[in-house]
Amino acid sequence: MNPRDEAEQTAMTLSSHWIVGPGALGRLIALRLTDHARATLVGRRPPSPIQRLLTPEGETLTRRLAVAVIGALPDETPAIVHLTTKATTALAACDTLARALPADTPLVLWQNGVGSQQAIARRWSGPVLCASTTEGAHVQGDLQVTHAGHGHTFIGALDGRHGGLASQLADDLSLAGLPSELVDDIGVRLWRKLAVNAAINPLVAHFGITNGELRNPPYRLHVEAMIEEIAAIMAAESVTPPEGDGIDGWRQLVWQVVDATANNLASMLQDVMAGRPTEHEAILGPLLAAARRHELSAEHIQMHFRYLAARQST
C-alpha cells in the first residue's frame, strides 16, 4: 500500500455519506447505511425524508433520512459521495458537486456500463472509486424501495489506487448489509457486468418480459445471438468471463443471472415503462465501439441500439 493510501485508511472513518441519485440503488444504499453512519440522500428535487425498505426477508424498515437538493447542497463535507445517478447524467452531477465540495472529496461511482467512469475519473480531482453490484432493487413511488434480492458488490479504483479507502468502504457497506469486497480489477468487473446487462436488458425492454421469460422460445434464441456477438467482442478486448472459457463462460454467466433474477423486471424495462431515457449508450455503446475497433460483426447489438435510440427520440 502506498503512503497516501495508508494515510487515507487511518484518517477515513466514512462517518458521513452523501448518496446522489435517489433511484432504487441510491435509496437502497442510503437506507442500509443510515443505521451505521450519517447518510444524506441528494436529488435534483427534494427526496422524501421518510423512506420504506422492503427487505428480501419480507421485513419493512422505515427510516428518516437526511435529504438535500443538488442545487443547494448543505454546508458540510461528507466523508464520501456515492454517485448513483444514471450514466447519462453522472458527469453533469459531478460538475455540480465539484463546485460545492473540497477538491479531495472521495467519490464512488455506481453507474452501469463503461465509459462514464473513465470520463469522471479524468475530471474529478479527489479519489475516484467504482462499484459494480449485483444488488437488485426497484422503487414503488417516492417513498418505498424493494430490495429484491441480496447481491455482491466489488469496489476498486480504475488505476488500482486508494486501496485503503476502498477496503474501508467495502467494510462499511458489508456491515450495513450490502456485502462488498475490494478488488484490483474493477475495470474487468465493469465489463463483465456490461456483458450481462447487454445480453439481458435490451431484450426484456423490447419485449416487455421478466428476465426469466428469456429462457423460453423465441426469446432464448435472441439471447444466444447477443451472447455470440458479446463473447467475440470480449475476447478481442481480452476480457475473460468469471468462470469457464470464451463463449461457454459467457453463456454460463448470462444464464446464471437470468435464473437468479428470473422474477425481476430489469432496470431498462423499468425505464421504458416509466418513460425514462434508457442506458443503451452506456451499455451497448462501448460494445459497438469495440466491435468497430476490432472489425467484428455486431448486427444484433446494433439493432437493439437503434431500437432504443429511436424510442427515445420519439
Residues forming the active site: 193
- Binding residues for ligand KPL, per CB under 6 A? 196-197, 200-201, 211, 257, 261, 264, 266-267
Q: Name the maximum alpha-carbon separation found in the chain.
A: 56
CA-closest candidate to residue 54, choices 31, 35, 38, 77: 31
- Specify the DSSP element, H or E, that contains 140: strand 136-140
Question: Closest separation between CB of residue 129 and ligand KPL, Å?
Answer: 19
Nearer to ligand KPL, 42 or 87 (CB): 87
Rounded Cα distance between 213 and 78, Å, is: 43
Question: Closest separation between CB of residue 132 and ligand KPL, Å?
Answer: 10
Nearer to ligand KPL, 105 or 261 (CB): 261
Output the nine-digit C-alpha cell for 211: 428476465
Question: Closest separation between CB of residue 204 and ligand KPL, Å?
Answer: 7
- Torsion-angle region of residue 66: left (phi > 0), alpha (psi -120 to 50) or beta? beta
Nearer to ligand KPL, 266 or 298 (CB): 266
Output the nine-digit C-alpha cell for 54: 422492503
CA distances from 189 to 181, 183, 269 (A): 12, 9, 23
Question: Closest separation between CB of residue 211 and ligand KPL, Å?
Answer: 6
Nearer to ligand KPL, 23 or 127 (CB): 23
